[in-house]
Amino acid sequence: MATSREIITSLLAKEISERLGFHESFWPFLFENHWHAEGYPQGVSPEEHFNLDIQGIGGFTTPEPRPDLVATVEENDEWKITRNGWGSSFKYWKHKAGVPEHIDFMVTSPEVWHKEFRDAVVAIDVRTMFNLDERRAEYAKHMASDRFVACCGIHIFEEMRRVMGDYAMLESLLLEPGWIHDFNDVITQKNIEFYDYFFREIGLPNGMFIFEDLGYTAAPFASPACHRELVMPYHKKLFGFFKDHNLPIIMHTCGDFRPHLDAIVESGVDCIQTLEAKTGMNVVTLAEQWKDKLCFMGNIDVRVLESGDRKRIEEECLSKINGMKALRAPYVFMSDHSISTDVKLADYEFMCELFWKNCKY
C-alpha cells in the first residue's frame, strides 16, 4: 500500500497512483466555536483525525520592513483595526472567521515605495526571520510521518494586494508597470533568499504550496497579457528555483483563473487548487483538457456541504470522484476553498466516508 507521501508525489507528477489524494483547509474558529461541541476530539489535528495526505509547514511572507508603523488603530470587544509594518490597515474580527476588511494603505505609488520602503525590504536579513531550532523540530516531526510535507508561502500577487491594496495594485498594473516590475523583482529575490536559507539550514520539503489569489468569482483580476508581462516572469523565476531543487509546486488561487492556465502551466506549476465551484468551474471538464499537464485539487462545492442535504452532498462528491477516475486524471479531493463554520461535523464526516469508499482508481 502506498503512503500518503508516495500518492501525492505520483499525482503531482501527473501519474496515477492507487487512489485519489485527500486534503482539506478549515476556517479559523471552526473547531473551537463549533466542531468540538459536535464531537470533534480536543487536541487532535485534522491531518491526523481525517487522515489527510498533505501537511503544510511554515514558509514565507515578506517581513514587514517598517516596525515603527505598527499600531492598533481602533479596537472594541468584537473587532480591531491594526496597522502593520507596510503602513497597511486591516479590520479583523476577534472571535469569528472572516476576510479582513481593507481600511487604508501607505504604499500606493512608486514614489512612496522608493522613498519609504524599498531599501528597507532589500536590507531584510532572512536569517533573522525565524527560530531555527523551532523550525527544525517542526520539519523533523512532520517528515517522520508518511504525509507529503509542503512548505507554504505567498508570492507576488498576494504581496501586492496586501501591501498596495486592490485599487492601487490594479491601477498600477496598467499605469505603472515599471514600479510593478521593480516591486515584484525585489519581492521575488527576497523569496529566493529565504527559501535558499530554509533549504540549507532546515532541509528540503517534499514540495511547495504557493498562495496567489489571481481572480474573483467572474474573472481574473488581470488580463492574460498583463499576467504574462508583469506576473509570469517572477513566477517562472521563483518556481524555477524550486525546480532546481526537484520540488513539485502546488499553487492556490481563488476565483476564476482559467484565462491564465497556459501561463500557469508554463510557469512550472504542477497542481492547481482550489477550483471554486461558484465560478462555474468543474474539475472534470478542466481535466478533459489539462490532465496530462496538471494535477487538480478541490472543486467540491462548499455550499452543498453547508446545505446539509446528504443526497446533494453525495451527488456533488461522487460526480467529481467518478469523473476524475474515469478520465484517469490526477486529483486531490477537497472542498472548493475551505470548510466554513456553516458545515456540520457530521456532514463533513459523511463526505469523508464517501471519499474513502470510492477513492481507488
Q: Which of these, 28, 30, 55, 31, lies nearest to 41 by C-alpha position?
A: 31
pLDDT given at position 63: 92
Q: Is the pLDDT of residue 58 over 90?
A: no
Helix (H) or strand (E) run with residue 150 in it: strand 148-154
Using CA atoms, how far apart are residues 74 and 199, in angstroms rounded to an integer?
A: 40
Provide the pLDDT confidence category of residue 92 given band limits of 50, 70 and 90: very high
**Chain-centroid distance, C-alpha 145:** 22
Provide the pLDDT confidence category of residue 4 given band limits of 50, 70 and 90: very high
Using CA atoms, how far apart are residues 155 and 269, in angstroms rounded to an integer?
A: 13
pLDDT given at position 129: 87
Q: Is the pLDDT of residue 317 over 80?
A: yes
One DSSP character per residue, 87-119 reads: S-EEEEESSS--PPEEEE-S--SHHHIIIIIHH
Residues near 91 by beta carbon (within 8 Å), at least 6 away in sequence: 79, 80, 81, 100, 101, 103
pLDDT given at position 203: 97
Grid cell, residue 233, equals 516572469
DSSP-derived secondary structure letter, 199: H
| pLDDT tens-digit readout, 226-245 | 999 999 999 999 999 999 99
Residues near 32 by beta carbon (within 8 Å), at least 6 away in sequence: none
Burial of 301 (0-12, 13-18, 19+ CB in 10 A): buried
DSSP-derived secondary structure letter, 136: H
DSSP-derived secondary structure letter, 360: B
Using CA atoms, how far apart are residues 233 and 267, in angstroms rounded to an integer?
A: 8
Provide the pLDDT confidence category of residue 104 given band limits of 50, 70 and 90: very high
In the chain, % of residues over pLDDT 70:
100
| pLDDT tens-digit readout, 177-208 | 999 999 999 999 999 999 999 999 999 999 99
Q: Is the pLDDT of residue 304 over 90?
A: yes
In one-letter notation, the amino acid at residue 263 is A
| pLDDT tens-digit readout, 106-155 | 999 999 999 999 999 999 999 998 899 999 999 999 999 999 999 999 99
pLDDT given at position 97: 83
pLDDT given at position 98: 84
Q: Is the pLDDT of residue 59 over 80?
A: no
pLDDT given at position 119: 98
pLDDT given at position 80: 97
pLDDT, averaged across the chain: 97
Residues near 173 by beta carbon (within 8 Å), at least 6 away in sequence: 180, 222, 226, 230
State mean pLDDT over 3-16.
Answer: 98
